[in-house]
């Protein structure tokens, strides 16, 4: 669907592999790896750098990395952090003169790959941006750029190859150093284009390499929806906002879902939203069932005393309302007792192909199940729809 | 580049990539509702069918389908001016490369798929610049210019949606949107005030839209029908700053009413990716608030909430001209309800429309019936005449004749006797023409060296159909083959016959009786006539081979011969035939 952050570890593996250089780093994921195995991989004769590897910036300043520590300190660092963080990178510590630090970033933009670089890199690059030079990469000017960067031309070419072949969109190496014509990446941050996942060279990144910043681990429901989206031609999206909120959002359409969520926010109800999410692209009935179950699971888990489920969207171009509503109803069927017990109220607003039949069907489903509901078509504007819900909550 | 003037002047002729039934039907419905005489979808790239059935009004039509763009006939290639690319993300780029290389009159198209990679999108963008094409997408529902063209699912896929949204009559508002759903929401907002739409498009929610909002705004500024532009944008990327700069530099002076969504992103500690690929603010300038501020400062009406946006719209719409759907359109709309799907479809004329004249030759009628259209060339008529005459009978000893004679002597009726003879026609008897045509065709089209073709069959230990005869040899040629080969004398290329003769040259070098036989000669000569005189494309030739067209003439002609054999046996009436004992010998295997 979009750009995703990859771990620093995977980014470096891909870079060093193309450069034909050995990489001595290790990754540690609390969900998949054992700490004893890691212990056996570390040597007591050298020192290490250990960092949280979840796409978080400014780690040194926030205490998410330690430099020049023993093998035992590495283990201790991980054990201290493992309740908040799950992904780590461990590398042998390398001593080098600080003023050799350089900065390089590559970003795919409309006009091509934009290169930002400075021969004076390091953690304070944002403050010292005066020495940063910007240019656009082209294979034809590879040699010129490599001279400016003071990097061997073949190395720069290899790096650009990694960038293109692995569908990187963004790569930041800050700092890196050049030693004996070898490039050493002390830090690397990367975003990849996840739509390329089925068309990558072997050994490239996979969905497991994605990290989402901060210390969040995704909920079971979010993971289900991520998997669903990856395996479907339609699109699904789910993010938890306030797990104990009072408003669940079962929305369709990338645009209309944002407009609806925004209207809650504009009316001061943003904090009451359990989730943001949307389905679109005419999903099948079975896919709609899976998505519906995930959203309902979140709302039913909320500890809020008043609960509302919003089934909303704009006027679809091609998503069949009757078919998707059939899926939504099937998705709710197993939870009707819970829905009634928790006195969840439903607000529906939707338009599109077969809207009359779809809206009538969901209305009669709620009425027959004795579930309180308000069902409307597109004649009710999105903003009026949201206002009605907010009024109901207040 | 988008150019509404060109779109207005273009009579749409579209190729659809992938058979998305609802979307294609909705484009045909739109054509019908706006009184276009012919469907604008001319062909579909899809699986294995030759045609797909659709409706134009309440009439059933068929749209030609091709597996590959290379199979599309020349005259159709010249017609196509738009593509509707409904294929999946992985196929999109390949198809676009095929399309722009092939269609000389292409002016643009739409890309429906979500999940096109950023690199691919940038490559397509480059193509659109190089070839001066107007391409909306990826992840777009297309565009609509009321009364002229509906390119994609935009505005809905049912006729009811199109009518409800008043999309058949041009109005005053233009809609430009990053979201397909919100495009339609805004179209419906405009129709609820009866103001109508002058143009609408979704540029798509990807990071690199091929047609950018800026380009559409500049074109709408020139468009005489558009009085006001409705814009829906989202957080992520910076296209709104370009709009703001167009407004502050007075390049766009028409009123713009905009809404930028994504304020909700603020309450996330760690903002997620929202519905669209670009919907994430990584810098401050990419936030909805910053973009709104820039637009407002430039002079765009860009309220903070959607409810204010709708209120502002109502205010503007109240002063606009109202548009209504004409009665004539409603009559057409109502006609569409009387759709009924028939069990069979046929392209041959019915009994009341018999369109051959008594002056037409029998060969002309047979050929036209088999081809499904009237013959264009006298060469084909003559060839068919020759085949019908020469294939009528080949003596009493061949399989078909023997079967028919035995059945007739068993006292069975005429039709049964004929059928038992016809049933022997296949790869070993009479039915080799079609397979021979396949060998010549594949050899020529795929540029296979005749040596390799011979080698392939030799290594498989299979005969080359169309080569070899029991009686005739290289020093004693088959006179029927000689007269067939006369037909292609004076042809420009005679690719297929030359290919067959090159194969024959190699095989007769091995064995004297491995000559081009009657079946093989019919196949090659027929291919040359169809290609050079009837102007069939390779795709059409391929389809004739698939349908076994090349065997049809033999079967038709030999039917007469078999009937003659049956009648002959009835006349002589010898009684039941039984093989003499010595003609069946037991052997050990």
The one-digit pLDDT tens for each residue of chain B (589 residues) are 789 999 999 999 999 999 999 999 999 999 999 999 999 999 999 987 889 999 999 999 999 999 888 889 888 999 999 999 999 888 888 888 888 889 999 999 999 998 899 999 999 999 999 999 999 999 999 999 999 999 999 999 999 999 999 999 999 999 999 999 999 999 999 999 999 999 999 999 999 999 999 999 999 999 999 999 999 999 999 999 999 999 999 999 999 999 999 999 998 877 888 989 899 988 899 999 999 999 999 999 999 999 999 999 999 999 988 988 899 999 999 999 888 888 888 888 766 655 778 889 999 999 999 998 889 999 999 999 999 998 899 899 999 999 999 999 999 999 999 999 999 998 788 888 999 999 999 999 999 999 999 999 999 998 899 999 888 888 888 888 988 899 888 898 999 999 999 999 999 998 989 999 988 999 999 999 999 999 998 888 998 999 999 999 999 999 999 999 999 999 999 999 999 988 998 888 8
* Cβ atoms of B243 and B252 closer than 8 Å: yes
Of the candidates A108, A237, A265, the beta carbon closest to that of B267 is on A265
Between CA B298 and CA B309, with CA B304 as vertex, the angle to 5 degrees is: 90
Q: Looking at the complex, report in whole angstroms how far the Cα of residue B133 sits from the nearest Cα belonging to chain A.
A: 17
Residues from chain B that touch A381, judged by Cβ atoms under 8 A, are: 189, 307, 310
Burial class of B89 by CB neighbour count within 10 A (0 to 12, 13 to 18, 19+) = buried
User: Cβ distance B203 to B178 under 8 Å?
Assistant: yes
Task: Verify whether the Cβ–Cβ distance A276 to B161 is below 8 Å.
Answer: no
Q: A158 near A165, Cβ under 8 Å?
A: no
Q: What ipTM was reported for this prediction?
A: 0.89
Partners of B182 in the β-ladder: none
Residues in CB range of A175: below 8 A, 6 or more apart = A101, A102, A103, A121, A122, A123, A186, A187
Cα–Cα distance for residue pair A350/A362, rounded to 1 Å: 11
**Interchain contact, B185 vs A314, CB within 8 Å:** yes
Nearest to B181 among A239, A256, A266 (CB): A256
Whole-number pLDDT of residue A212: 82
Weakest mean pLDDT among A91-95, A99-103, A362-366, B400-404 = A99-103
Return the closest-CA partner of residue B444 out of B541, B576, B303, B583: B541
Residues of chain B neighbouring A252 (CB-CB closer than 8 A):
181
A41 within 8 A of A26, measured Cβ to Cβ: yes
Mutate to test the interface with B, among A212, A241, A317, A380 (most CBs of B within 10 A): A317
A126 band by pLDDT with thresholds 50, 70 and 90? low
**Record: contact B234-A258, CB cut-off 8 A:** yes
The Cβ of residue B170 has, within 10 Å, a number of other Cβ atoms equal to 17
Inter-residue long-range contacts of B421-427, CB under 8 Å, 24+ positions, other chains counted: B421/B562, B421/B565, B421/B566, B422/B555, B422/B558, B422/B559, B422/B562, B424/B399, B424/B400, B425/B400, B425/B551, B425/B554, B425/B555, B425/B558, B427/B465
Q: Which pLDDT value is given to residue A1?
A: 60
Place of tokens 């050995």: A22
3 state DSSP class of B2: coil
How far apart CA B303 and CA B295 sit, in angstroms, is: 10
Distance from CA of A49 to the nearest CA of B (A): 26
- Residue A24: count of CB within 10 angstroms of its CB: 11
Helix (H, G, I), strand (E, B) or coil at A73: helix
CB contact at 8 A, A283 and A277? no
Instruction: Identify whether A175 is preceded by a cis peptide bond (ω within 30 of 0).
Output: yes
Paired sense of beta strands A87-92 and A48-52, if any: antiparallel
Quote the pLDDT of residue B379.
Answer: 93
**For chain B, what's the residue count?**
589
Nearest to A322 by CA among A293, A351, A292: A351
Helix axes B239-248, B213-222, angle to 10 degrees: 30
Report the distance separating Cα B53 and Cα B13, nearest Å. 18
Q: Count of CB atoms within 10 A of residue B297's CB?
A: 12
B549: left (phi over 0), alpha (psi -120 to 50) or beta: alpha
Q: Tokens 């009341």 — which residue? A: B352
| Number of Cα atoms under 13 Å in the Cβ half of residue A64 | 19
Which pLDDT value is given to residue B373? 87
Q: What is the dihedral of CA B560, B564, B566, B570, to 10 degrees?
A: 150
List the structure tokens of B447: 């540029």
Residues 6+ apart with CB under 8 A from B99: B15, B17, B69, B83, B85, B106, B109
**3 state SS of B155:** coil
DSSP 8-state code for residue B170: E
The predicted pLDDT at position A208 comes to 86
Interface test with B, best of A111, A195, A278 (most B CBs within 10 A): A195
Higher pLDDT, A38 or B350: A38
DSSP summary character for residue A353: T
Residue A217 has pLDDT above 80, yes or no: no
Provide the whole-model pTM.
0.84
Provide the pLDDT confidence category of residue A339 given band limits of 50, 70 and 90.
Answer: very high
Q: Which residues pair with A248 in a beta bridge?
A: A309
For B:4-23, CB contacts with A below 8 A are 22-23
Residues in chain A closer than 8 A to B165 (CB atoms): 315
Q: Which of B173, B227, B216 is nearest to B197 (CA)?
A: B173
Element (H, E) at A252: strand A247-252
- Identify the sign of the CA torsion B278, A260, A297, A360: negative
Name all domains of chain A by residue range, CATH numbers in brackets.
Answer: 16-92 (3.30.1490.20), 98-211 (3.30.470.20), 220-393 (3.40.50.261)
Q: Classify strands A65-69 and A48-52 as parallel, antiparallel or unpaired.
A: antiparallel
Q: Order of strands, edge to edge, in the sheet holding B134-136?
A: B51-56, B59-66, B41-45, B14-17, B82-85, B108-111, B134-136
Query: CB-based contact (8 Å) between B283 and chain A?
Result: no
CB contact at 8 A, B95 and B45: yes
Identify the pLDDT of residue A179.
Answer: 85
Interface test with A, best of B115, B143, B156 (most A CBs within 10 A): B115
SS3 B160: helix
Length of chain A: 394
CB B391 within 8 A of CB B554: yes
The reported pLDDT for the residue numbered B353 is 59
Q: Give the per-residue pLDDT at B586.
A: 86
Burial of residue B277 (number of CB atoms within 10 Å: 0-12, 13-18, 19+):
buried
Contact residues, chain A, for B317 at CB < 8 Å: none
Task: Examine residue B138 and say whether the peptide bond preceding it is cis (omega within 30 degrees of 0).
Answer: yes
In sequence order, which residues have a C-beta less than 8 Å from that of residue B37 and are 6 or more positions away?
Answer: none
Q: Judge whether A215 and A54 are in contact, CB under 8 Å.
A: yes
> Dihedral of CA A148/A150/A154/A157: which sign?
negative
What pLDDT sits at residue A123? 66
Percent of all residues in chain A with a pLDDT value above 70, rounded to a whole number: 97
Q: Specify burial of residue B231 (Cβ count, 10 A radius: 0-12, 13-18, 19+).
A: buried
Catalytic residues of B: 276
Neighbouring C-beta atoms of residue B232, cutoff 10 Å = 27
- Domain borders along chain B are 362-572
| pLDDT, position A215 | 60
Burial of residue B318, with CB atoms counted within 10 A of its CB: 0-12 exposed, 13-18 middle, 19 or more buried: exposed
């Amino acid at each position: 669907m979009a750009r995703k952050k990859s771990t620093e570890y995977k980014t470096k593996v891909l870079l060093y592999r193309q450069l034909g250089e050995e990489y001595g780093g290790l990754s540690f994921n609390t969900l998949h790896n054992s700490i004893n195995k890691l212990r056996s991989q570390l040597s007591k004769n050298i020192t290490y750098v250990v960092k949280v590897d979840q796409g978080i910036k400014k780690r040194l300043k926030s205490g998410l990395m330690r430099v020049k520590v023993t093998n035992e300190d590495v283990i201790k660092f991980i054990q201290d952090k493992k309740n908040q963080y799950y992904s780590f990178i461990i590398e042998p510590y390398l001593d080098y003169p600080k003023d050799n630090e350089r900065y390089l970033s590559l970003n795919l933009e409309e006009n091509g790959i934009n290169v930002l670089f400075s021969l004076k890199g390091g953690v304070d690059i944002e403050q010292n941006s005066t020495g940063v030079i910007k240019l656009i990469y082209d294979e034809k000017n590879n040699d010129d750029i490599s001279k400016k960067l003071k990097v061997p031309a073949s190395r720069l070419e290899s790096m650009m190859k990694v960038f293109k072949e692995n569908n990187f969109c963004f790569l930041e190496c800050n700092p890196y150093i050049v030693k004996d014509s070898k490039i050493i990446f002390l830090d690397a941050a990367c975003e990849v284009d996840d739509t390329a996942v089925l068309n990558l060279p072997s050994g490239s990144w996979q969905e497991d390499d994605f990290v989402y910043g901060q210390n969040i681990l995704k909920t079971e429901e979010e993971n289900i929806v991520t998997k669903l989206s990856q395996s479907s031609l339609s699109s699904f999206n789910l993010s938890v906002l306030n797990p104990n909120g009072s408003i669940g959002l079962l929305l369709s359409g990338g645009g209309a879902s944002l407009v609806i969520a925004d209207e809650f926010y504009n009316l001061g109800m943003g904090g009451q939203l359990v989730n943001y999410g949307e389905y679109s692209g005419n999903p099948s009935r079975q896919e709609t069932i899976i998505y519906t179950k995930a959203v309902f699971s979140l709302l039913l888990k909320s500890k809020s005393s008043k609960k509302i489920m919003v089934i909303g969207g704009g006027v679809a171009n091609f998503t069949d309302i009757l078919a998707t509503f059939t899926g939504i109803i099937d998705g709710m069927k197993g939870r009707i007792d819970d829905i009634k017990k928790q006195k969840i109220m439903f607000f529906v607003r939707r338009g599109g192909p077969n809207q009359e039949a779809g809206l009538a069907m969901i209305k009669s489903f709620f009425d027959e199940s004795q579930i309180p509901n308000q069902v409307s078509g597109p004649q009710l504007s999105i903003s009026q729809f949201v206002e009605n819900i907010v009024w109901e909550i207040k | 580049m988008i150019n509404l003037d060109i779109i207005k002047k273009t009579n749409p002729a579209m190729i659809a990539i992938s058979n998305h039934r609802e979307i294609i039907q909705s484009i045909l419905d739109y054509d019908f509702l706006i009184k276009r005489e012919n469907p604008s979808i001319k062909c579909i790239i899809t699986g294995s069918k030759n045609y797909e059935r659709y409706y134009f009004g309440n009439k059933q039509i068929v749209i030609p389908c091709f597996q590959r763009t290379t199979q599309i006939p020349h005259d159709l290639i010249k017609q196509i001016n738009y593509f509707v690319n409904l294929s999946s993300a992985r196929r999109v780029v390949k198809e676009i490369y095929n399309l722009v290389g092939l269609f000389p009159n292409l002016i643009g198209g739409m890309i429906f798929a979500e999940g096109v990679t950023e690199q691919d999108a940038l490559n397509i963008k480059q193509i659109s610049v190089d070839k001066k094409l107007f391409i909306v997408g990826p992840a777009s529902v297309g565009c609509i210019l009321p009364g002229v063209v509906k390119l994609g699912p935009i505005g809905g896929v049912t006729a009811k949606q199109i009518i409800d949204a008043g999309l058949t009559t041009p109005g005053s508002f233009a809609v430009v949107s990053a979201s397909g759903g919100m495009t339609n929401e805004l179209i419906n907002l405009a129709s609820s005030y009866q103001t109508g739409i002058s143009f609408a498009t979704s540029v798509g929610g990807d990071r690199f839209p091929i047609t950018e909002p800026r380009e559409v705004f500049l074109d709408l500024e020139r468009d005489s029908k558009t009085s006001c532009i409705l814009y829906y944008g989202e957080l992520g990327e910076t296209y709104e700053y370009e709009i703001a700069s167009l407004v502050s530099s007075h390049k766009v002076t028409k009123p713009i009413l905009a809404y930028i969504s994504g304020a909700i992103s603020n309450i996330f500690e760690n903002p997620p990716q929202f519905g669209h690929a670009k919907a994430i603010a990584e810098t401050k300038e990419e936030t909805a608030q910053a973009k709104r501020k820039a637009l407002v400062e430039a002079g765009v009406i860009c309220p903070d909430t959607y409810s204010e946006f709708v209120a502002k719209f109502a205010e503007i719409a109240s002063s606009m001209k109202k548009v209504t759907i004409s009665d004539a359109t409603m009559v057409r709309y109502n006609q569409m309800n009387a759709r009924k799907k028939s069990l069979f479809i046929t392209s041959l004329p019915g009994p009341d429309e018999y369109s051959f004249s008594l002056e037409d030759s029998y060969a002309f009628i047979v050929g036209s019936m088999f081809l499904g259209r009237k013959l264009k060339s006298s060469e084909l008529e003559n060839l068919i005449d020759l085949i019908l005459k020469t294939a009528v009978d080949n003596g009493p000893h061949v399989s078909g004749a023997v079967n028919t004679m035995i059945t007739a002597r068993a006292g069975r009726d005429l039709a049964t006797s004929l059928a038992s003879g016809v049933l022997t026609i296949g790869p070993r008897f009479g039915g080799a023409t079609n397979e021979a045509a396949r060998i010549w065709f594949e050899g020529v089209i795929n540029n296979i060296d005749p040596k390799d073709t011979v080698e392939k069959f030799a290594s498989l230990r299979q005969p080359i159909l169309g080569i070899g005869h029991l009686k005739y040899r290289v020093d004693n040629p088959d006179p029927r083959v000689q007269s067939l080969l006369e037909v292609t004398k004076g042809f420009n290329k005679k690719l297929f016959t030359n290919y067959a003769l090159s194969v024959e040259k190699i095989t007769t070098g091995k064995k004297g009786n491995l000559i081009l036989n009657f079946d093989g000669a019919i196949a090659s000569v027929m291919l040359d006539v169809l290609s050079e005189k009837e102007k069939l494309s390779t795709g059409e030739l391929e389809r004739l081979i698939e349908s076994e067209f090349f065997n049809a003439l033999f079967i038709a002609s030999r039917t007469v011969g078999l009937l003659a054999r049956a009648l002959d046996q009835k006349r002589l009436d010898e009684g039941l035939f039984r093989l003499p004992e010595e003609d069946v010998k037991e052997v050990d295997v």
